[in-house]
Amino acid sequence: MGRTTVTITSTITATMLGYDFMVRAFLASGIVAIVAGTVGYFLVLRGQAFAGHALAHVGFAGATGAALIGVAPLGGLIAFTLAAAVAMGLLGERLSGRDVAVGIVLSLSLGFGLLFLSLYTTSATQATALLFGSVLAASPTVVTSLVWLGAATLAALAVISRPLLFASLQPELAEAKGVSIRLIATLFLALVALAVAQSIQIVGVLLVFTLMIGPPAAAQLLTHRLTTGLLLAPGLALAQAWLGITLAYYTDWPTSFWITALSALVYLGAAVYAQRRR
């Protein structure tokens, strides 16, 4: 029975990975999941989940604007999200409690994105890809870009991780010790911008929360240990991304739907576990 199960699983896996586009999908989603889960852990820890959503909307305008002038959408995504992240970091506390203003900016960004898209083409294909992701359409160029972006993002996060953690958990003490809270916040939001730009390639503008917030939030419900949580968050994101692609392959349902559904399911399970543990 055990051998039969292993044989069937191996056959299914071999069949699925026999297509180049599926291999690229697993590579791209794996890179993005690890980056989003790791960066997202600090994002949830700092209570800045809304920042990721805001940057995703700004990125949509950047991507469509780039396409309009003949530049690669990923370039526009990175440029716009980085600019917005730096501005948010420098403004610091001035943005606190201004959800209405931020919400208006988000809506305006989405509106400009749709305007740029309508000027660029009458096709809805690109809009759908940007809004809901297109991991199965990841090209070799996109995968290569994600590898470099992912490595750079994680390396930079490792460099600022100690002062970032200090500033996140004990901001007053960190500032008293000479840590520049505003500089750390700005640098971190720049890394969030890079993670958002990568996540949009997989799950789209509207579903960035799926990889950046869901798995890290679940990880923090499951464990209070920092090291364990930092390993668990990207692990959950990776499992959800890969299982989502597998389910999409065999059901013909959208990949983003499966990844989102799995993320919600895991978070609900973690919430129930945390509640019973009390």
Within a domain: residue 217?
A: no
* CATH number of the structural domain spanning residue 114: 1.10.3470.10
* Overall pTM > 0.75: yes
The identity of residue 106, as a single letter, is L
In percent, the amount of the chain with pLDDT more than 90 equals: 28
- Please check whether residue 246 lies inside any domain of the structure: no
pLDDT per residue over 121-170, tens digit each? 545 566 566 666 777 778 888 888 889 999 999 999 999 999 999 888 88
Under the banding of pLDDT at 50, 70 and 90, the label for residue 272 is very high
Decide if 103 is inside a domain: yes
The pLDDT of residue 277 is: 80
Does residue 83 fall inside a structural domain? Answer: yes
Contact 270, 221 (CB under 8 A): yes
> What range does the domain containing 135 cover?
21-205
* Dihedral angle computed from the Cα positions of residues 94, 214, 109 and 55, in that order, rounded to the nearest 10 degrees: 50
**Percent of the chain having pLDDT more than 70?**
83
- Residue 215 inside a domain? The answer is no
Q: Within 18-48, where are the H helices?
A: 20-45
- Total structural domains within the chain: 1
Question: For residue 82, is pLDDT > 90?
Answer: no
Asked, for residue 239, whether it belongs to a domain, the answer is no
